[in-house]
Amino acid sequence: METNKARILCVDDESINIKLLEAILEPQGYEVIGATSGQEAWERLQALPIDLVLLDVMMPGMNGFDVCRQIKGSEELRDIPVVMITALSSKNDRILGIEAGADDYLTKPFDRAEVLARVKMLVKVKALNDQLNNGYKTILGMTSSARQLIQRFEPLDFDLLDKMDGLVGQIIGQHDEMRDRPRTMLVHAPNSAGKSCWYRYEVVAGKLTRTSLALEIPLEFSAEREEIFFYNQPEHGEIEGKHRGCLEKLRAFELPIINLVCYLGSSICVVAINYGREVTRYDASVIESLVTQTLFLKSIAGQISETEDAFTYTVHALARASEANDENTGNHILRVGEYCALIADRIGMSDQFVSIIRLQALMHDVGKIHIHPDILKKPDKLTDEEFAQIRLHPLYGAKILGSHPRLTMAAEIALSHHERWDGGGYPNRLAGQQIPISGRIMNLADQYDAMRNARVYKPAFDHAKTCTILIEGDGRTMPGHFDPQVLAVFRENAAEFDAIYERLKG
């Protein structure tokens, strides 16, 4: 691959003049595009990225002044330098050219040295303006991308490779107007299994593609701290030590390397290869900023994940403590969490709600910590006073869990899971939709699991008998105790309740 040649549009109604300019410019590495009328020139400008326009003044139809005015009046094209070429030397003609927005003048007949000097200077100005504009667009893109990342950031679902796709998409060239961007990028990063792999990114048919590479290139050049360098081919002999070794290893990818920017990190490497121009420290800074942003999000996601793991562990520990002096019910707390998640999903609750109730339902009986062990373990029928104590455990549970936003559902469940749809429950005799939906779900889940386990006052019931009692009633437990919607979901998905019990009966 070669870096993009500067593309010069030569406009003259006499083809011989275009040929003359080609003879001067092409040997110097410029790409010359010819147009023999103002209209054709305008069409070329619409179709191709142009770096400089050499524009004859005297043409039939749309003359050079007209074309120049259109170029300088266009938001997309106004930064293209325009050199007016004319045999006219009057002051008025020059004023008309300046008013039209021309950047410079050349007179016929052409002086080769003058043409090359002016072209070289204006092409360089265009390249610097392009870098400035691209820098501005990149900053806007980074700002927009950062805003979107923050809005969509889900730390518990953080996928580093997915974020790397987004990073590469900001850097790599995907359109003709982005021809100065790199054409290929290599990324060395951990996959979902935690193993570091090489990935190659390119644009195919206008779409960014990622290919996993089987190459096992050791990253002996990886830095203990972040390093970044850039390289343009003529400077090959100037790169020494670690960076030269890095370049030699990258040649194993069998890519022609004209230039590159390389970010070296202890866990991630990003290599942008073959920009359409020489690379600079600015390009290195852009990649460093984007990689740093991605790694920052990875770090935040890791810390939040650790915190979430600690929160989950604490919930389980508190739930186990609540069961310590109760009857031996095996994995009761785990099963009710799964029952609740199943019901919540089938009645159309959000994924977030389902996830929360699966975990926080485990603490439904945390208030039993305040109940004396002799009552909880009593093998005989409870006295009225003892049963009154048992009926206080929802209030104790709500008090223990408090008012922290993260435990709102747990506190709701602890307080309301013994309330009944018909208003005959406890501790507050709530009825119907006065009972939080989480409590209504938990009420049925808890009842199902209690019937499946042996208690001092009853044997363990099988699945079929439990279903009959819940759906038809037995005098003590009646269908009217349950939210009709929740009961309907149970009826339709009863087999899954049995499967959960068998899987977690412990």
pLDDT tens per residue, range 381-407? 889 999 999 999 999 999 999 999 999
pLDDT-derived band at 5, boundaries 50, 70, 90: confident
pLDDT of residue 301: 82
Please indicate, yes or no, if residue 318 is contained in any of the structural domains: no
pLDDT of residue 1: 42
**Do 170 and 83 fall into the same domain?**
no
**Do 360 and 478 fall into the same domain?**
yes
pLDDT of residue 153: 66
Rounded to two decimals, what is the model's pTM?
0.60
What are the angstrom distances between the C-alpha of 186 and each of 189, 214, 274, 343, 492? 10, 13, 11, 46, 52
Please indicate, yes or no, if residue 141 is contained in any of the structural domains: no
pLDDT of residue 149: 64
Residue where one domain finishes, among candidates 301, 335, 358: 301
Cβ atoms within 10 Å, residue 409: 22
Q: What is the CATH number of the domain that holds 421?
A: 1.10.3210.10
pLDDT of residue 159: 77
Please indicate, yes or no, if residue 137 is contained in any of the structural domains: no
Q: Are 106 and 84 in contact (CB under 8 A)?
A: yes
Residue 176 has pLDDT above 80, yes or no: no
pLDDT of residue 268: 85
Residue 330 has pLDDT above 90, yes or no: no
Residue where one domain finishes, among candidates 236, 266, 301: 301
In percent, the amount of the chain with pLDDT more than 90 equals: 47
pLDDT of residue 221: 47
Instruction: Write out the two tokens for 89.
Output: 């030397």
What secondary structure, in 3-state letters, does 76-91 show?
Answer: CCCCCCEEEEECCCCH
Least confident of 87-101, 343-357, 413-427, 457-471: 87-101
Highest mean pLDDT among 173-177, 247-251, 368-372: 368-372
Residue where one domain finishes, among candidates 128, 150, 169: 128
**Do 376 and 284 fall into the same domain?**
no
Please indicate, yes or no, if residue 405 is contained in any of the structural domains: yes
pLDDT-derived band at 269, boundaries 50, 70, 90: confident
Q: What does the mean pLDDT of the chain come to? A: 86
Least confident of 139-143, 291-295, 441-445: 139-143
Least confident of 71-80, 152-161, 468-477: 152-161
Q: Which residue is associated with the tokens 């999000």?
A: 297
Instruction: Write out the two tokens for 72.
Output: 């300088």
Please indicate, yes or no, if residue 68 is contained in any of the structural domains: yes
Per the structure, the count of domains in the chain is 3
Instruction: Write out the two tokens for 207.
Output: 């779409």
- The amino acid sitting at 359 is L
**Do 483 and 374 fall into the same domain?**
yes
Q: In this predicted model, which residue has the larger pLDDT, 256 or 193? A: 256
Return d(Cα 284, Cα 272) in angstroms, integer: 9
**Do 328 and 291 fall into the same domain?**
no
**Do 98 and 178 fall into the same domain?**
no
Q: What is the CATH number of the domain that holds 179?
A: 3.30.450
pLDDT of residue 324: 76
**Do 258 and 338 fall into the same domain?**
no
pLDDT of residue 287: 86
**Do 91 and 20 fall into the same domain?**
yes
pLDDT-derived band at 242, boundaries 50, 70, 90: low
Please indicate, yes or no, if residue 57 is contained in any of the structural domains: yes
Q: Are 263 and 283 in contact (CB under 8 A)?
A: no
Return d(Cα 171, Cα 273) in angstroms, integer: 11
Please indicate, yes or no, if residue 150 is contained in any of the structural domains: no
Expressed as residue numbers, the domain containing 426 is: 324-504
**Do 105 and 186 fall into the same domain?**
no
Least confident of 55-69, 361-375, 446-460: 446-460
Please indicate, yes or no, if residue 43 is contained in any of the structural domains: yes
Q: Which residue is associated with the tokens 């203990």?
A: 224
**Do 48 and 112 fall into the same domain?**
yes
**Do 371 and 275 fall into the same domain?**
no
Q: What is the CATH number of the domain that holds 116?
A: 3.40.50.2300
Residue 329 has pLDDT above 60, yes or no: no
Residue 365 has pLDDT above 90, yes or no: yes
pLDDT of residue 145: 64
**Do 217 and 366 fall into the same domain?**
no
pLDDT-derived band at 141, boundaries 50, 70, 90: low
What are the angstrom distances between the C-alpha of 199 and each of 215, 218, 273, 285? 10, 14, 13, 22
The 10s digit of each residue's pLDDT in 430-468 is 999 999 999 999 999 999 999 998 776 678 899 999 999
Average pLDDT of the segment spanning 256-261: 88
Average pLDDT of the segment spanning 401-423: 95
What secondary structure, in 3-state letters, does 213-251 show?
Answer: ECCCCCCCCCCCCCEEEEEEHHHHHHCCHHHHHHHHHHH
pLDDT of residue 178: 60
Return d(Cα 445, Cα 362) in angstroms, integer: 11
Q: In this predicted model, which residue has the larger pLDDT, 216 or 26? A: 26
The closest of 210, 300, 200 to 254, measured between CA atoms, is 200
Please state whether 93 falls in left (phi above 0), alpha (psi between -120 and 50) or beta. alpha
pLDDT of residue 238: 58
Three-class DSSP category at 194: coil
pLDDT-derived band at 246, boundaries 50, 70, 90: confident
Q: In this predicted model, which residue has the larger pLDDT, 380 or 456? A: 380
